Amino acid sequence: AQSVTQLGSHVSVSEGALVLLRCNYSSSVPPYLFWYVQYPNQGLQLLLKYTSAATLVKGINDFEAEFKKSETSFHLTKPSAHMSDAAEYFCAVSVTGGGNKLTFGTGTQLKVEL
């Protein structure tokens, strides 16, 4: 079965600083990986996805993530944090034969401070 682990339930950065949210996956077959953002009392918005094409994936709002098979990681980064980036971020995995199901990590709450 596939799974993802998000290290750090809370991350705090200063506005303008680098954002790094960590995600490691476990899968016996090539995974498809996603990052979603959730604002309070809202659904999930797709930031970016890895689907076995380029290992460096660029998403919306200047977010990007790099798929590293050797490290089984898919960390999310953004060069310069903005106050509007404060939200909950979820890493998720899906695999072929998994019925299109998404398995989510436990989430990372990003706080952006002035």
Partner 1 sequence: GAVVSQHPSRVICKSGTSVKIECRSLDFQATTMFWYRQFPKKSLMLMATSNEGSKATYEQGVEKDKFLINHASLTLSTLTVTSAHPEDSSFYICSAGGDRVYGYTFGSGTRLTVV
> Which residues lie near partner 1 (CB under 8 A)?
32, 34, 36, 41-46, 49, 51, 90, 94-96, 99-107
- Least CB distance from residue 16 to partner 1, whole Å? 27
Residue 58, number of CB atoms within 10 A of its CB: 11
| DSSP secondary structure letters along the chain | --EEE-S-SEEEEETTS-EEE--EEE-SS-EEEEEEEE-TT--EEEEEEE-SS-SEEE-GGG-EEEEETTTTEEEEEESS--GGG-EEEEEEEEETTSTT--EE---EEEEEE-
Residue number with CB closer to partner 1 (73 or 105): 105
- Least CB distance from residue 12 to partner 1, whole Å? 16
- Report the C-alpha gap between 39 and 113 in whole angstroms: 17
- Least CB distance from residue 31 to partner 1, whole Å? 9
Residue number with CB closer to partner 1 (28 or 100): 100
Residue number with CB closer to partner 1 (13 or 35): 35
- Least CB distance from residue 80 to partner 1, whole Å? 25
Residue number with CB closer to partner 1 (19 or 32): 32
